[in-house]
Chains A and B, each alone.
Chain A
Amino acid sequence: MSQSIAAPVRPAFTLKSFNLGRWAVWGLFALALAVAPLLWTSSLAQTMLSQVGIAIIACLAYNILLGQGGMLSFGHAVYGGLGSFLAIHTLNMVSAGKLALPVSLIPLVGGASGLFFAALIGWVTTKKSGTTFAMITLGLGELVWSASLMIPEFFGGEGGVSGNRVVGKPFLGITFGPQIQVYYLIAVYCFVCTALMFALTRTPLGRMLNAVRDNPERVEFIGYSTQRIRYIAFMLSGLFSGIAGGLAALNFEIVTAEVVGAARSGAYLLFVFLGGATFFFGPIIGAVLMVFALVLLSELTKAWLLYLGLIFLFMVMYAPGGIASLIMMNLRVAAFGKLRRLWTGYLALGGTVLVMLAGAAAMIEMLYHRQLNAALGPKMKFVGITLDASGVDAWFGACFVLLTGVALFEVSRRAFKKEWDQAQEEIEHAIKQREES
């Protein structure tokens, strides 16, 4: 069988070197999780790394449905979110002395809750597929969201439910008070859950889930119930989502209703797609991007959702396989020793994209400045330059930069496409020769 880390979508393209490097890949992953907080030691970095660990579990869990099973869920925040709430209530019971449970096991309570609610709700949703499935998940997501406002006893109303993770006797000096201790708890859960979810793709259920994605009808004629396969996968996804939710409850020590909301569900979909749903490691990239966008980009500019939307738009149009598929395509080119001559093309593309971005971003920022900061006057700072948001000069200049960028981009894109297509042709030829010999 193909032993690569990539999901078995294009086994013909995956790299042989990965077979040998399976252990190396997992070793590097563990090392990265262990070493990351030693390299980036600021408290912001620790906060972000903790969130990345949680997001990796959540995005991989979501991709069991989207990438592995072809199920488009618009309400997947529900399972992680309810896991968060039950975890924080459990934590508070531990604090109150009503329950004796180590804090390190509370994410498993979240997992059990996620599993329970997925078993309950999935029984209904997985009876349908395709658009109907998507609509039902959307409806149920809204249902739970509105319930969260109606039942403040459980969901804590607008203020949410808060807790304190420093409870019980310290174990080997671990109190989970400092962020770094929570990070390492998250890292351990992240590694184990990632390994388990990868293992799932190598099992009969995991492979039949791919079969259901490709052709649900035929699955019924080789002895399997598509509904049962979807239902089990849905429950497993709920389990891992719930673990992520439980970790989030410990990490933030507060859970508000937004964790079950449509915006969170949408973020999972968007970033898993950006990362690449067709490969196992795609959602990991998506999770990193998600935290960077939500924490850093939102600090950097008020228009961050607009930028995110634009990136998503271009991704759907030009690289529907996400970043993971771009990486795999380039690795394939590299494996045939043809990446070197695409270098200049990439450089040109990158440069022209930057020019385009500068023009577009200047205009977006000026527009936002005029709408939101009118009281501060028309002058604003943009990457070190002072722009007059009400002046014709600045708008004309930005427009000029953008148009120049677009024109140059188009020229370099055409040149790049020619090179790329030629490289692909040569690779196909090489593969054919290999097959014949």
Chain B
Amino acid sequence: MSAEFAVELNDLRKSFGKTEIIRGANLKVKPGERVAIIGPNGAGKSTLFNLISGRFGASSGEILLHGQRIDGLKPFEINRRGLARSFQVSNLFTRLSAFENLRCAVLWSLGYRYAFWKFLADLRDANERAEEVLAMIKLDKKRDVPAMNLTYAEQRALEIGITIAGGAGVILLDEPTAGMSKSETQRFIGLIRDVTAGKTLLTVEHDMGVVFGLADKIAVLVYGEVIAFDVPEAVRANPRVQEAYLGSVVADGQAAGH
């Protein structure tokens, strides 16, 4: 794709009833950039992901993927254009094995569509790709275990595996390390870095350790608007960000100290 931006949001808005959650968000992510989206609770981070991935329809504004409009498309149409996402709560094919989960995730991208005249066992490329991803997320020992019998961390890894298996160029990860212990998180950041190498990555994160570990740029979302989008140092120095994040703390400090 020769488009200048991998993902582009232009004045994106979304209302639920009378409540406007996303209020004119603008964001331009270049191909290969790794962006963390941060912001206080209720800022609309997950909603933004749901809009980009087609889970919700936007109220107004534009979403572009590699320069082409994708707002108004169904999730599977967006996925076919090279965008994949993970979910905050693991969203797996519970009764299928880890391997089957991954094989399902590669079938469309390899062009097998709705075929019922080919045997899965004969699809060498699909089987190899599924085994490869299984090894990448270090679940090769749990190959035949149903997804519902995996441990929490293993399910999170499988969630990422399903997301990247189809080979999409743009990856959206919604709080990939939510609910993990410190040591698991450390290991997991390394894993995500490995499997998303060379791709455009957007993550929603609360954990600042994860943010600095994964992202080269940070987008700050407050009340449905992107108030800052820059490299970490510049974002930290941005007075609007300080106000949004520290405003109340500073005000409290002033009230107490003076």
Is A199 an interface position by the 8 A CB rule? yes
Is A167 an interface position by the 8 A CB rule? no
Shortest B226–chain A CB gap in Å is 24
Contact-size category for B = 35 or more
Quick check: B119 and A9 within 8 Å, CB to CB? no
Q: A2-B144, A8-B100, A220-B75 are in contact. Are A204 and B113 (CB under 8 A)?
A: yes
Choose from B95, B107, B117, B123 the contact partner of A9 (Cβ within 8 Å): B95
Within B131-165, which residues are at the interface with A (CB < 8 Å)? 141, 144-146, 149, 162, 165
Quick check: A1 and B146 within 8 Å, CB to CB? no
Quick check: B114 and A228 within 8 Å, CB to CB? yes
- Measured CB to CB, the nearest residue on chain B to A225 is B76
Is A10 an interface position by the 8 A CB rule? yes
Query: Please, which residues of chain B bring their CB within 8 A of the CB of A224?
Result: 76, 107-108, 114
Quick check: A8 and B109 within 8 Å, CB to CB? no
Choose from B53, B116, B141 the contact partner of A204 (Cβ within 8 Å): B116
Contact-size category for A = 35 or more
Is B65 an interface position by the 8 A CB rule? no
Q: How far apart are the CA atoms of A2 and B103 in the complex, in Å?
A: 13
Query: Please, which residues of chain B bring their CB within 8 A of the CB of A11?
Result: 97, 100, 144, 146
Which of B78-86, B180-188, B243-251 forms part of the interface with chain A?
B78-86
Quick check: B114 and A214 within 8 Å, CB to CB? no
Within B6-54, which residues are at the interface with A (CB < 8 Å)? 53
Query: Please, which residues of chain A bring their CB within 8 A of the CB of B149?
Result: 12
Quick check: A215 and B120 within 8 Å, CB to CB? no
Query: Please, which residues of chain B bring their CB within 8 A of the CB of A10?
Result: 95, 146
Quick check: B107 and A218 within 8 Å, CB to CB? no
Quick check: A220 and B76 within 8 Å, CB to CB? yes
Query: Please, which residues of chain B bring their CB within 8 A of the CB of A223?
Result: 76, 79-80, 107-109, 166
- Measured CB to CB, the nearest residue on chain B to A218 is B91
Quick check: A204 and B118 within 8 Å, CB to CB? yes
Q: How far apart are the CA atoms of A424 and B59 in the complex, in Å?
A: 54
Within A398-437, which residues are at the interface with B (CB < 8 Å)? 435
Shortest A391–chain B CB gap in Å is 54
Which of A41-49, A144-152, A205-213, A252-260 forms part of the interface with chain B?
A205-213
Within A190-207, which residues are at the interface with B (CB < 8 Å)? 199-200, 202-207
Quick check: A214 and B116 within 8 Å, CB to CB? no
Is A217 an interface position by the 8 A CB rule? yes
Quick check: B96 and A210 within 8 Å, CB to CB? yes
Choose from A222, A225, A236 the contact partner of B104 (Cβ within 8 Å): A222
Is A335 an interface position by the 8 A CB rule? no
Quick check: A1 and B121 within 8 Å, CB to CB? yes
Is A229 an interface position by the 8 A CB rule? yes
Shortest A228–chain B CB gap in Å is 6
Shortest A282–chain B CB gap in Å is 15
Shortest B196–chain A CB gap in Å is 16
Is B210 an interface position by the 8 A CB rule? no
Within A1-23, which residues are at the interface with B (CB < 8 Å)? 1-3, 8-12
Q: How far apart are the CA atoms of A222 and B146 in the complex, in Å?
A: 19
Q: A11-B146, A203-B115, A203-B119 are in contact. Are A208 and B107 (CB under 8 A)?
A: yes
Choose from B99, B103, B114, B144 the contact partner of A232 (Cβ within 8 Å): B114
Query: Please, which residues of chain A bring their CB within 8 A of the CB of B74?
Result: 220, 225
Is B212 an interface position by the 8 A CB rule? no
Choose from B97, B120, B144 the contact partner of A202 (Cβ within 8 Å): B120
Quick check: B116 and A207 within 8 Å, CB to CB? no
Within B84-102, which residues are at the interface with A (CB < 8 Å)? 84-85, 87, 91-97, 99-100
Is A221 an interface position by the 8 A CB rule? yes
Query: Please, which residues of chain A bring their CB within 8 A of the CB of B220?
Result: none
Quick check: B84 and A210 within 8 Å, CB to CB? no
Dominant secondary structure of chain A at its interface with chain B: helix
Quick check: B93 and A204 within 8 Å, CB to CB? no
Q: How far apart are the CA atoms of A220 and B166 in the complex, in Å?
A: 13
Quick check: B95 and A214 within 8 Å, CB to CB? yes
Q: How far apart are the CA atoms of A11 and B80 in the complex, in Å?
A: 30
Quick check: A12 and B145 within 8 Å, CB to CB? yes
- Measured CB to CB, the nearest residue on chain A to B116 is A205
Q: How far apart are the CA atoms of A102 and B119 in the complex, in Å?
A: 32
Query: Please, which residues of chain A bring their CB within 8 A of the CB of B79?
Result: 220-223
Q: A218-B93, A222-B108 are in contact. Are A203 and B118 (CB under 8 A)?
A: yes
Query: Please, which residues of chain B bring their CB within 8 A of the CB of A205?
Result: 114-116
Interface string of B186-200 (1 = CB under 8 A from A): 000000000000000
- Measured CB to CB, the nearest residue on chain A to B93 is A214
Shortest A226–chain B CB gap in Å is 8
Choose from B96, B105, B141 the contact partner of A435 (Cβ within 8 Å): B141
Query: Please, which residues of chain B bring their CB within 8 A of the CB of A204?
Result: 107, 112-116, 118, 120, 123
Is B127 an interface position by the 8 A CB rule? yes
Q: How far apart are the CA atoms of A317 and B250 in the complex, in Å?
A: 61
Shortest B225–chain A CB gap in Å is 26
Choose from A199, A208, A210 the contact partner of B114 (Cβ within 8 Å): A208
Quick check: A8 and B76 within 8 Å, CB to CB? no
Q: How far apart are the CA atoms of A211 and B53 in the complex, in Å?
A: 20
Query: Please, which residues of chain A bring their CB within 8 A of the CB of B99?
Result: 1
Within A151-210, which residues are at the interface with B (CB < 8 Å)? 199-200, 202-208, 210
- Measured CB to CB, the nearest residue on chain B to A217 is B91
Within A33-60, which residues are at the interface with B (CB < 8 Å)? none
Nearest first, the 5 A-B pairs at minimum CB distance are A223-B108, A205-B116, A214-B93, A220-B75, A204-B112
18 contacts between A and B (CB under 8 A): A8-B96, A10-B95, A202-B120, A202-B121, A203-B116, A203-B120, A204-B115, A206-B116, A207-B103, A211-B93, A213-B95, A214-B92, A220-B75, A220-B76, A221-B53, A221-B85, A222-B79, A223-B79
Report B's interface with A, CB cutoff 8 A. Answer: 53, 74-76, 79-80, 84-85, 87, 91-97, 99-100, 103-105, 107-109, 112-121, 123, 127, 141, 144-146, 149, 162, 165-166
New A-B pairs, 7, CB < 8 Å, besides A204-B114, A229-B114: A203-B116, A204-B115, A208-B114, A215-B91, A219-B76, A221-B85, A223-B76
